[in-house]
Structure 1
């Protein structure tokens, strides 16, 4: 039996939905091949005399376990949450758990903007006929209602927002809830943020979202840490992580995917979108201190890596200043696009899959790194047995998170 302490938090299940693969098996294959699904986005409400580049999910299917009644009334964000949670739930074997000892945290706020825009357009000339259920579904908390009803979760359930750090912040909150004894199991979801053309335009006008430079070549648009980057490229995604008290998991014979060794979370005290090296470094140093892992023992880092002109430079400064330059580095967003509220959660799933396979996925389009002296995984996947992995996730409003996973 795996050794553990009473304070250990294990990951016992994971699920993922992304444009390059639905479910962990397809997702892992796409990661190691360096696939992509970038193109001009086609969903209704995504374009208005525009040609925004992104990566959109293939149609989702509920399978036999998800209620058809719940599915019919669910938005794209809600449907992604249901199927992604189901995969994690089944891997963790939670069907026979005490539902009062399971908690749910959904990372993300304002995650159904496109759905709301379409609703406004449908009822603009007949507001008296607005569906009564809209009074429920426009709220992010409706995702909690759907998931708790489908899976009969009876512990706590809430949403939390930290912009693009939301999905990872939910994992941190879940780990802390387990350590404090609030639950034996917590499911942390990084919700699919469903952008409309309004958010896409605003991000583009901010200079955060690309890509006019690659308008005719969408496959080349997402290029974190490359000198030719010009902003993030959106990608629909959802992730789910099952966190469990180690003693509880061991008592029912559930093997861990990894140990959550430590974490850090910090704010910059700055409303603006520009990143802070000091704030990011504080989150990293908190994670290292809480894990007891020396910086030189971190052998793999899943970078936040959005393709931001300023953000990528700041992130690499933090890596160097924190003594992490010996770790192998890659950027999952080069393959999936930026899932915003889902990103940090999806990238934890990507890290778990790489740890399991003892392989690291390539970073697409990394042809001219802004710091060629670091240990990039660039053109193709490489073999690497990860012992200690660091995941970084940052969001607008100065939100910084860092999570360290340990092989067991």
Structure 2
């Protein structure tokens, strides 16, 4: 009965409605909170309190339009062009190092003449890497489980991308992309002991990178005790923690944040979740976390259905998207709550920023496309199953019928 009810509940649905609902709700909440968090900053910088709200509204419409266009592209196109997409990622990451725009000491953006949106190549690189990894795992899955060579090749590709990101620098994207690739390999059935060995090596490399630059050590020490230097290296985190403290259970009310009044830097971008907690309280913050959890769970379910339907590329693509969105959301929230050192990562579908919002919408559209194709394949297989069964049923003789 349980299997029958599950089949009836999804048989006539073209795609996962909960997946689309969670994504659109996050985008709507993001627009509202970006408007609330940016009014004072926008008024001080431009004289128009709704400057960032209007731009973010344009980004939302652009993201929806781009996602709708991607929804019509067959998954087979992404499967065939994985290497081409990887080449695009390499090209953009090299280009941004040459002609990129520097903001706050990092060269992460490309300015396109005549276009009011700065392109962030690291966001595009995440999507391209996932598409490449899904195709690689489809082609070499048995070898990935057995040989070191097939296991290490995608990690070497990721390492080259990570090196380009470190030169920007963009350590948050390095962590998200490396973690996503490693978990995809683990889900593909690679031995656990290989990951344990790699974790030791990566921890040693991370320690060397941390001690190589004084500002990195300052970030780590401020993360462990931000109040020790609350007006310098620990300033962002202490202001975010004050916002959480003000929010209590139900918040100060929409638009009533105090920390957004030039106290909390990047209030509408990297630390928008702190403003959510201050204005909407613990309940509002937990509701946002619940929306992200719903989105990731439904994305994993889409991948599982594709895997059961014998569509490995679509399955690993869905798993990778779920890991990227879930991992980036976890890191952003963990940074603003003091669980992790400060990283320059946006909150997917919610923070201000054109590139992040558009690429996140494209990822959601890919999940919907995978789900649509998987359900269509399942319906075709069910429609042909009775015919096959009838052709295989032996006829009874007259004596047996008697």
Q: TM-score range by the shorter chain?
A: under 0.3
TM-score by length of structure 2 reads 0.26
**TM-score (normalizing by structure 1):** 0.26
Larger radius of gyration: 2
Q: Flag the structure with higher strand content.
A: 1
